[in-house]
């Protein structure tokens, strides 16, 4: 279908949202179940590109009980970053691709209110990759701003554990929704434009918001609503492939993949129907990320000692799509 302006793309849902409760409630729980079911039963094509999930290992550290985000390093082969959502301070954990803990990074200049997703991508220094940590959770839809922390990606050796370290200070990118506070658990970084995207969660049709690069670190930036997700999945995580050509978003029980139209803004991908991609049977599916080459993806759940799953390409030696 042809590209539509952000205004036309989102206008048709305004009436549907009147009276919809944003905060946690019985109604919200019922809506969550119905939304997840609607995506599972939808007539979207199932992708044959990926294999079923392969257990890579279990998180053994008792410190990681509420994993909310995962991202693959661009600088360090075989390294993944994960974090808890709240209650322990501003830190991220480096693990290897077998879920073994490598070490902990404390993030100077950051606070942890409700961290829900993490991404790796470019930033101000063209020779550097950055970690983007989304303090974007807001179950009650009551906070006047959300914050994305940005810090240069550290050097990690996937074969060598390290003692706790401090990195930063982090840049604080303060963001305000144009239509009032909302809960979100999905943060995307476009590696081609360095734009940030947040996808709302507690709505029948989740909204996609953008903060165009360069993002201010000294004053609040108003997000721009640019798209609406074409299904109700209550997104809990997402990622953009390292080449910027593909997007994956997951709910608790499902996941989908979009291809970005050549030469188009990232949000144009959501104008098309997604392809359903497999997820594992996880206790509380929370996080998803492409691998460092964009050929497969990892998922992980909340809970004690969760399993890390990898969904590899069905044709590992075939051309990258």
Q: How many CB atoms are located within 10 Å of the residue 211 CB? A: 20
Residue 316 lies inside a defined structural domain of this protein: no
Contact 7, 224 (CB under 8 A): no
- The C-alpha atoms of residue 95 and residue 250 are separated, in whole angstroms, by 21
Residue 305 lies inside a defined structural domain of this protein: yes
Beta-bridge mates of residue 104: 93
Contact 54, 311 (CB under 8 A): yes
Domain at 53, CATH number = 2.120.10
Q: What is the pLDDT of residue 202?
A: 86
Contact 309, 288 (CB under 8 A): no
Residue 321 lies inside a defined structural domain of this protein: no
Residue 319 lies inside a defined structural domain of this protein: no
- The C-alpha atoms of residue 51 and residue 278 are separated, in whole angstroms, by 8
Residue 1 lies inside a defined structural domain of this protein: no
Would you give the distance in Å from CA 182 to the centre of its chain? 16
Tokens for 181?
């506070």
> Domain total for the chain?
1
Residue 89 lies inside a defined structural domain of this protein: yes
pLDDT along the chain (321 residues), means of 10: 44 39 44 46 75 97 95 97 92 98 98 97 97 96 96 94 96 97 97 98 92 98 94 85 97 93 96 93 94 97 96 72 39
Contact 248, 277 (CB under 8 A): yes
Dmax over CA atoms of the chain, in Å, equals 55
- The C-alpha atoms of residue 251 and residue 276 are separated, in whole angstroms, by 11
CA dihedral 117, 236, 1, 10 (to 10 degrees): -90
| Structural domain boundaries enclosing 29 | 6-311
Contact 84, 301 (CB under 8 A): no
Residue 26 half-sphere exposure toward CB, CA atoms < 13 A:
0
Residue 267 phi/psi, 5° resolution?
A: -65, -20
Residue 317 lies inside a defined structural domain of this protein: no
- The C-alpha atoms of residue 232 and residue 37 are separated, in whole angstroms, by 9
Residue 291 lies inside a defined structural domain of this protein: yes
Q: Could you tell me which of 302, 290, 255, 293 has the C-alpha nearest to residue 274?
A: 255
């Amino acid at each position: 279908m042809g590209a539509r302006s952000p205004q036309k793309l989102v206008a048709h849902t305004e009436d549907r949202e009147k009276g919809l409760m944003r905060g946690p409630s019985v109604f919200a729980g019922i809506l969550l179940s119905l939304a997840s079911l609607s995506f599972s039963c939808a007539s979207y094509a199932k992708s044959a590109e990926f294999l079923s999930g392969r257990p890579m290992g279990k998180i053994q550290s008792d410190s990681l009980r509420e994993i909310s985000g995962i991202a693959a390093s661009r600088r360090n082969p075989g390294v993944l970053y994960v974090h808890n959502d709240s209650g322990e301070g501003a830190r991220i954990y480096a693990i290897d691709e077998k879920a073994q803990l490598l070490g902990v990074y404390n993030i100077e200049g950051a606070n942890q209110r409700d961290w829900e997703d993490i991404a790796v991508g470019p930033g101000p220094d063209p020779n550097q990759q950055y970690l983007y940590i989304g303090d974007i959770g807001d179950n009650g839809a009551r906070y006047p701003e959300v914050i994305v922390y940005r810090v240069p990606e550290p050097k990690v050796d996937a074969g060598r554990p390290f003692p706790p370290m401090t990195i930063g200070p982090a840049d604080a990118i303060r963001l305000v929704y144009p239509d009032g506070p909302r809960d979100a658990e999905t943060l995307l970084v476009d590696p081609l434009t360095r734009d940030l995207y947040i996808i709302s969660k507690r709505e029948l049709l989740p909204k996609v918001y953008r903060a165009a690069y360069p993002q201010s670190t000294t004053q609040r930036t108003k997000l721009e609503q640019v798209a609406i997700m074409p299904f109700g999945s209550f997104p809990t995580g997402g990622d953009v492939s390292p080449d910027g050509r593909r997007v994956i978003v997951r709910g608790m029980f499902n996941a989908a993949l979009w291809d970005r139209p050549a030469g188009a803004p990232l949000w144009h991908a959501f104008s098309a129907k997604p392809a359903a991609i497999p997820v594992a049977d996880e206790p509380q599916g929370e996080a998803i990320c492409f691998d460092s080459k964009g050929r497969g993806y990892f998922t992980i759940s909340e809970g004690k000692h969760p399993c890390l799953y990898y969904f590899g390409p069905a044709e590992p030696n075939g051309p990258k799509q």
